[in-house]
């Protein structure tokens, strides 16, 4: 089964595509059949990161039914074992993708046979970004050691978890739940997963237990990118501890990745950073990050969607119209 890793981070420029690209190249070179999917609709440029200038096919061809299967949109790269589904050429329609279309992509992705599938997600907390975290139990959040980036990563994490809870409950139940929670919180914003969970548990203990177990299964990771010498090296660990303590969400810190101006050079030259500057601190940090992901898969961590989850997704997609369900959720995280 393919190991699926959504990579997101809320803020633009935090290095999502850089990490996704380099992780993909490294995994492929280690002999793993790896697929990169550029899911940064509207601002796709993962192809540039791995040195592909022309994309004959893209994800939108699948959505627009120009091709029958998702597999037909896969592009071979110059690196053996590395494949790409480009996000370029996606028009505005794809930016505002309907829920049903996303489900179509999810189902198609889980049917592909790769060792690793990496999803490069866009900035922001739009439903497009959030929903792509629903496809897997694993996920990588990227932040830089700046308040703006940390703010966005907190926002994204909350939104993803709230969306996960919602995914597990039927819409009408969720609505009553939200109303009930709002009443109890005296009008406070219901964007706190732990609080939401405590209300579910009170209202319907059985359902609460299922949701709680499902949430505990998520193995989210945090990476601090563009780490400079003067930054606090403990920051990532502290952030994860704070999230666990106050939001009740388990997040694992992978490590800091050193800032280096050479990253800019590598991106400009459109060459893989690890190949061009292998003896830098940044390269060493990157390799540590890559190894972490490789080890997570070999440990047999459940990072695919699993049949059960897929059924739930299908069920959700079946009885809720895309736009309507998005509306329902938007009330719950007024971000």
Partner 1 sequence: MRPLAELTYYEILDLSPGATPFEIRQAHKKALEVYSEDSMVIYSLFSDEERKEILARLNEAFTTLINEKARYAYDQMLIQQGAMKEGSQYWSARKKLAPVGFNGSTDTASQSEGEKPQAVENPVVKEILSQEVLTGMDLKRLRTELGVSLEQIAERTKIRPGMLRYIEEDQFNELPSRLHLKSFLKAYVQYLHLNPESVVDRYMKRIQG
Structural element, H or E, at residue 66: none
Closer CB to partner 1, 194 or 275, in the complex? 194
Structural element, H or E, at residue 78: none
Closer CB to partner 1, 203 or 328, in the complex? 203
Closer CB to partner 1, 222 or 266, in the complex? 222
Tell me how far apart the alpha carbons of residues 219 and 138 are, in angstroms, rounded to a whole number. 5
**Nearest to residue 17, comparing CAs of 59, 52, 48?**
48
CB of 187 to partner 1, least distance (A): 14
Site residues for partner 1 per CB under 8 A: 145-147, 150-151, 154-155, 192, 194-195, 198, 232, 235, 238-239, 241-242, 245-248
**Nearest to residue 293, comparing CAs of 23, 77, 97?**
23
Cα four-point dihedral sign 12, 13, 19, 24: positive
Closer CB to partner 1, 241 or 288, in the complex? 241
Closer CB to partner 1, 92 or 334, in the complex? 334
Mark out the alpha helices in the chain (DSSP H runs). 16-29, 46-49, 59-63, 92-95, 99-111, 127-132, 147-168, 171-184, 193-203, 205-217, 235-242, 261-269, 273-276, 281-298, 306-319, 322-330
CB of 190 to partner 1, least distance (A): 12
CB of 177 to partner 1, least distance (A): 17
Using the 8-state DSSP alphabet, how is residue 166 labeled? Answer: H
CB of 194 to partner 1, least distance (A): 4
CB of 235 to partner 1, least distance (A): 6
């Amino acid at each position: 089964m393919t190991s699926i890793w959504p990579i997101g981070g809320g803020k633009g420029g935090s290095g999502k595509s850089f990490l996704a690209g380099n992780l993909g190249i490294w995994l492929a070179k280690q002999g793993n059949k790896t697929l990169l999917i550029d899911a940064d609709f509207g601002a796709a440029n993962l192809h540039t990161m791995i040195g592909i200038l022309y994309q004959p096919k893209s994800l939108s061809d699948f959505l627009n039914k120009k091709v029958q299967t998702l597999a037909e949109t896969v592009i071979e790269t110059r690196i053996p074992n590395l494949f790409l589904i480009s996000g370029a050429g996606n028009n505005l329609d794809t930016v505002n993708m309907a829920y049903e279309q996303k489900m179509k992509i999810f189902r198609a992705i889980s049917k592909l046979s790769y060792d690793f599938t990496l999803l490069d997600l866009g900035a922001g907390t739009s439903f497009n970004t959030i929903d792509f975290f629903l496809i897997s139990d694993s996920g990588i959040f990227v932040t830089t050691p700046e308040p703006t980036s940390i703010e966005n990563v907190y926002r994204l994490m909350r939104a993803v978890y709230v969306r996960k809870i919602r995914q597990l409950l039927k819409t009408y139940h969720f609505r009553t739940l939200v109303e009930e929670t709002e009443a109890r919180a005296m009008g406070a914003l219901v964007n706190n997963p732990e609080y939401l969970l405590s209300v579910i548990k009170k209202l319907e203990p059985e359902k609460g237990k299922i949701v709680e177990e499902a949430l505990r299964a998520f193995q989210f990771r945090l990476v601090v990118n563009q780490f400079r010498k003067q930054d606090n090296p403990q920051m990532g660990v502290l952030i994860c501890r704070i999230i666990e303590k106050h939001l009740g969400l388990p997040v694992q810190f992978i490590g800091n990745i050193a800032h280096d101006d050479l990253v800019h050079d590598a991106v400009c030259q459109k060459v893989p950073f690890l190949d061009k500057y292998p003896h830098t601190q940044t390269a060493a940090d990157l390799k540590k990050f890559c190894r972490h992901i490789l080890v997570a898969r070999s440990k047999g961590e459940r990072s695919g969607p699993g049949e059960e989850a897929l059924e739930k997704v299908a069920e959700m997609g079946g009885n809720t119209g895309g736009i309507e369900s998005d509306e329902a959720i938007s009330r719950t995280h007024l971000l």
